[in-house]
Structure 1
Amino acid sequence: MEKYSQFRDRGSGISPFIPSTTPASFLSKLLHGALFLFRLPFFLGYSAFFFLFLDHLPSLLIPQVVRKLLLWTLLGIPGIWWVDLQLDGVKRGSLSQQPSSRFPGNAPRSIIAAQFTSPVDALYLAAIFDPIFTVSYPGTRKVQRVSLLRAILLALAPPNPSSPPTADNMTTLRALVEQNPHRVVAVFPEMSTTNGKGILPFSPSLLSAPADAHIFPVSMRYTPADITTPVPGAYLGFLWNLLGRPTHLIRVRIAEAVANDSSAATNGNTPLDDGGDEGLEVDGERLTGEEQRLLDKIAEALARLARNKRVGLTLRDKASFIEAWNKGRK
């Protein structure tokens, strides 16, 4: 992978865009193929039934508890039922002793700032918290509200380092929280997926959260790690790795909530260069020190939870990597 060395972070040497692979023997590949062929029709059939029909039914017909059970069934088909959940700074076995406000959804006005590595991220968050999903962009504090299916497919979509959609499709975290005070809002501030080995610079979208909101950094890591999708469009490879393994482990780490106590309260839509870099301007003014410290604090929390480091590579770097990767594959 030396030919992709220009896409390593200069400070840490991390390559966050190279797909993870798991060595396998000939016998394990045969088992892999058998499981894949057995599970594929069940997974595709159930997914189509859920997203084309069940997902559009009103909550009166499908209560939240039923919806979560249906989503856990979808997770169970590929063998995702082993979840190692921990709260940051809390010893194992003492989760029940923690106040309920340590969990997103139990605290009022909860916002999840989630690490972004795989289509399973959104599916797991939906099965646990049933949040409102959003898309963040590098040029604005505003976000776009999307469905669960769109959030899943976003993990396999190419990065968008350019301007966001029209203002008519955009809103703010403040507006979403005020309109849905009892719902969790999920944000992927990195804006595009990695292989889980580094935290990308953030979008400024988290700065539009109200001061009384509780922002929970949430890290999700997978074993094996080959179901991460840093390269867009790898649908077949993702399904092969997802359905061919006997089981998958998700390590979920939740940090203590952070409040947006930054002094600036603008919710503008002024384009930036590559969201998250210090010194960028919004509405003709530079991010305040408090705003930058908030983004840094959440990014550092995610890096600590995931046991990796922050990197300086941006969405433009990822777009360049994808171009070089595709040329190399050809």
Structure 2
Amino acid sequence: MEKYSRWRDPGTGIHAFVPPVPLRGDRNGFQTFTSIAKSYILGPPLAFIKLTVAMILVVVFALLELVGQMLAPITLIQRAYTRLVNFVLLRSLLLLLGFYWIKSENVTVKKGARRSSSRTQPTRQSVQAGDIIATNHTSYLDVLYLGARYAPMFVTPTQTPGQVTVETIWSAFARSIRSPPLPETGLRLSDVVKTAKSNGCSVAVFPEGTTSNGRGILRMTKVFHGLEPDKVRVHVIGLKYEYEDFAPTFTVGNFIPHVFFLACQWINTLEVRYLISEEVQDLHTTLPANMTLNPDEGVMGTQIASLLNHATRLRQTSSLGVKEKLEFIAYYTERERKTRKSL
């Protein structure tokens, strides 16, 4: 791990980019045998079957998307059609990858505690057209989940504060795999929100701008710069992947082996944590006295970063962001190239 010490956050000691290693712990003989069978004996042929079916579903999804584009003149019908297609096919892809059940819960800023199921307790509000969904980003699977659950308009932060580029689900998925540099400019997020509202959909953004390994929250981009809190509704959602043998999180490396080994697993686990509505909507145009402004994130970004910390129960790094991730990818790729060359 020392070879990656340059990318250890000094404030928290977190390595946020290094691919996670299996959490072995103490295992008995049966558990060890099961792990070997899953990864090397029964898992590979099962993964081959799963991924073959997945490729068929991807082709079907692409064809049905073309049909959906023909419905563009009829907004209501197109929106209902898109949500149905996304839910059925993208959720099916997640099922094939072992996500049979996705656990969700409401959490609160107060120590990240779970909310009870009592009707008297505040709950999350449903996501409406024109709302912003802000989540942490650790895997290409995030795109599949959000696409299946909300069929949103995906956007990517740019280097210009308050501006984004609009993505298709295909390009959002590709960005989560490649982690390319952020675009220089785009459209104002406030204008994109208005467009999404007129189209009957929400806006999904990963404010970190790139993926982490799920051990901490990265430094936020200035994607929320210029937004007026009283004119937009934000939903803060934390995504967390539990694992023992193989981590669904993906920060760097080859996508194909990663998704293959992911498909080798019997079960994969995703936990979705929704911050309750009252605490998310209490955003301010100026920072509360108990918060310190991070100039790299802006006023609203600093507040949402704090809320993401509570939703995910993770600490935020102070020195790791998109720039450092690009440097890490370059170093990691070059190191892997030299390793292969020496073999």
TM exceeding 0.5: yes
Inter-CA distance 152–98: structure 2 relative to 1 (3 Å threshold):
farther
Structure 2: distance between partners of 1:293 and 1:209 = 10
Match of 1:12 in 2: 12
Match of 1:172 in 2: 188
Match of 1:2 in 2: 2
Match of 2:203 in 1: 185
After TM superposition, give the deviation of residue 98 of structure 1 in Å: 6.0
Structure 2: distance between partners of 1:136 and 1:299 = 15
Question: Structure 2 counterpart of 1:39, which letter?
Answer: K
Answer with 192-201 or 91-100: which moved more.
91-100
- Look up the SS of the partner of 1:155 in the other structure: helix
After TM superposition, give the deviation of residue 260 of structure 1 in Å: 5.6
- Look up the SS of the partner of 2:154 in the other structure: strand
Q: 1:219 aligned to 2:230?
A: no
After TM superposition, give the deviation of residue 259 of structure 1 in Å: 5.8
In the alignment, is the contact (CA less than 8 A) between 1:87 and 1:95 conserved in 2? no
Structure 2: distance between partners of 1:217 and 1:129 = 14
The C-alpha deviation readout for 1:170-200, integer Å capped at 9, x for no partner, is 2122112222324211111111101011111
- Which segments of 5 or more consecutive residues in structure 1 lack a partner in the other structure? 264-276, 281-290
Q: 1:126 aligned to 2:137?
A: no
Structure 2: distance between partners of 1:126 and 1:193 = 17
Structure 2: distance between partners of 1:71 and 1:9 = 35
Match of 1:244 in 2: 264
After TM superposition, give the deviation of residue 114 of structure 1 in Å: 1.1
Match of 1:234 in 2: 254
Match of 1:262 among 276, 281, 285: 285
- Look up the SS of the partner of 2:262 in the other structure: helix
Match of 2:74 in 1: none
- Which segments of 5 or more consecutive residues in structure 2 lack a partner in the other structure? 25-31, 72-76, 287-292
Match of 2:95 in 1: 76
In the alignment, is the contact (CA less than 8 A) between 1:113 and 1:189 conserved in 2? yes
Match of 1:283 in 2: none
In the alignment, is the contact (CA less than 8 A) between 1:142 and 1:208 conserved in 2? no
Q: 1:299 aligned to 2:324?
A: no
Structure 1: distance between partners of 2:284 and 2:225 = 9
The C-alpha deviation readout for 1:223-254, integer Å capped at 9, x for no partner, is 226121111x5211321232111121111111
- Look up the SS of the partner of 2:323 in the other structure: helix
Match of 1:26 in 2: 36
Answer with 115-124 or 32-41: which moved more.
32-41
Larger % of helix: which? 2
- Look up the SS of the partner of 1:183 in the other structure: coil
Match of 2:65 in 1: 55
The C-alpha deviation readout for 1:97-135, integer Å capped at 9, x for no partner, is 6667x23414x6410111111111111111111111001
TM-score by length of 1: 0.81
In the alignment, is the contact (CA less than 8 A) between 1:223 and 1:250 conserved in 2? yes
Count residues in correspondence.
Answer: 300
Structure 2: distance between partners of 1:240 and 1:97 = 45
Match of 2:52 in 1: 41
In the alignment, is the contact (CA less than 8 A) between 1:159 and 1:191 conserved in 2? no
Structure 2: distance between partners of 1:39 and 1:109 = 36
Structure 1: distance between partners of 2:119 and 2:83 = 23
TM-score by length of 2: 0.79
Structure 2: distance between partners of 1:132 and 1:84 = 24
Match of 1:94 in 2: 117
- Look up the SS of the partner of 1:202 in the other structure: coil
Match of 2:29 in 1: none
Inter-CA distance 45–82: structure 2 relative to 1 (3 Å threshold):
same
In the alignment, is the contact (CA less than 8 A) between 1:35 and 1:246 conserved in 2? no
Inter-CA distance 120–328: structure 2 relative to 1 (3 Å threshold):
same
Structure 2: distance between partners of 1:21 and 1:44 = 28
Inter-CA distance 112–96: structure 2 relative to 1 (3 Å threshold):
farther
- Look up the SS of the partner of 2:250 in the other structure: coil
Match of 1:272 in 2: none
